[in-house]
Copies of this chain bind each other. A is one copy, B any other.
Amino acid sequence: MTQPCPATLKQVAEQAKVSRAAASFALSGRPGVSDTTRARVLRIAEELGYFPNRAARNLRTSTSGIIAICLPPNVTTMSYYMEATFGVIDRAEASGRVVTLIPHSLEETGRRRLNADGIIAFDPSPDDPMLADLLETGLPLVSGERMPAELSAPRGQVVSDHSASTREILDSFAAAGATCPALITPQEQMTWVLEVEAAYRQWCETQGVAPRLEVASLEDIAESTRRATRALLTGDDSETPIVDAILALTDGSVLNVVTSAAEFGRSVGEDLLIAAAVDSPVLGYTDPAVTAVDLRPREFGRTCMSVMERVLEAGDAETGLITEVVGTRVTHRASTAGRRR
């Protein structure tokens, strides 16, 4: 067990034979202390395993050291958000901040109590009432994926190149012999959904194929997901070409397509290719395993936190909109192998 009470600034100062002020200056890297003194203080702080008492620092600086994460309501693609959250935590640890999640049940008083220094909102949606409330607090906000235009601009944002990954998926469909790829989107107007959709439409236009979209609506989500699959896979209309590939944006849709393809006389990975726009561990367990876009959520979360740090450091100074891009990569699996492997 480590020492019960961690070393205090006073102890460091005494050992280094300087005042607490000097020690504080040395540790925070501010000018006003000679290089030799600074080095000595840093060495002793290191030896004693010193780190500043969070409560004292927060009290003095009127901060809370808390970064709050806001996730979309009713998230089914849990793994992405869980990983992204851990990414934020990874990075927050370095600056001694604490990360917590805001439950959607949190009342206004609860949010006031929370008293965060900043908010990271993943996949902000214009339909989320809590998000609107959070924006009103005026706290520094970093958005994971772009903020919808209807909402006030964030101080920083981290984005993925969904256009590129969508094109890569569609190209791999084509390479495996598919000629009529369809899209299943959720009804929520999160910006990444719009980006995938736009990239899909553009790809279709370039290739000269007619876009086929189905929306799994929010109300009665399970049934509407089934309806979307059915709409795409029943060839009730001989005028429209048969859908031979599906890019699904939510894991619910993916799983529904994978598990019901046989009912419609299709064989996934052979005469029906399928891919997911967000990867998840479960997609590696299905048979066949499902090709998906690895959005590198952990890295994405880390980047969100480092943008947040820049925003907090800037304080009220004008920074413009800080933007960072996190690269994605497609994990190719058996579901897009095509007939001829």
Q: Does the CB pair A222–B285 fall under 8 Å?
A: yes
Q: Select which of B58, B96, B259 is within 8 A of A259 by beta carbon.
A: B259
Is A235 part of the binding interface, using a Cβ–Cβ cutoff of 8 Å? Answer: no
Given contacts A282-B255, A286-B259, contact A86 B101 (CB under 8 A): yes
Shortest distance from the beta carbon of A150 to any chain B beta carbon, whole Å? 20
- CB-based nearest B residue for A78: B78
Interface hit among A49-57, A156-164, A173-181, A238-246: A49-57
Chain B residues positioned under 8 Å from A288 (CB to CB) = 259
Q: Does the CB pair A90–B64 fall under 8 Å?
A: no
Chain B residues positioned under 8 Å from A252 (CB to CB) = 281-282, 284-285
Given contacts A100-B99, A256-B287, contact A110 B93 (CB under 8 A): yes
Residues 212-229 of A, flagged 1 when their CB comes within 8 A of B and 0 if not, give 000000000010011000
Given contacts A59-B55, A96-B113, contact A89 B103 (CB under 8 A): yes
Chain B residues positioned under 8 Å from A82 (CB to CB) = 75, 78, 81-82
Is A138 part of the binding interface, using a Cβ–Cβ cutoff of 8 Å? Answer: yes
Is A291 part of the binding interface, using a Cβ–Cβ cutoff of 8 Å? Answer: no
The chain A residues found within 8 Å of chain B, CB to CB, are 1-2, 6, 49, 51, 53-56, 58-59, 63-64, 66, 75-76, 78-79, 81-82, 85-86, 89-90, 93, 96, 98-101, 103, 105-106, 109-110, 112-115, 136-138, 222, 225-226, 251-253, 255-256, 258-260, 262-263, 281-282, 284-289
Beyond known contacts A59-B59, A259-B287: 20 more, CB 8 A cutoff: A1-B137, A6-B112, A49-B112, A53-B59, A54-B55, A55-B64, A58-B58, A76-B79, A89-B100, A100-B100, A225-B285, A251-B282, A252-B282, A252-B284, A252-B285, A256-B285, A258-B259, A259-B286, A260-B287, A262-B262
15 pairs across A/B with beta carbons < 8 Å? A6-B115, A49-B109, A49-B112, A54-B58, A55-B56, A76-B285, A78-B82, A90-B105, A222-B289, A252-B281, A253-B285, A255-B282, A255-B286, A256-B285, A259-B286
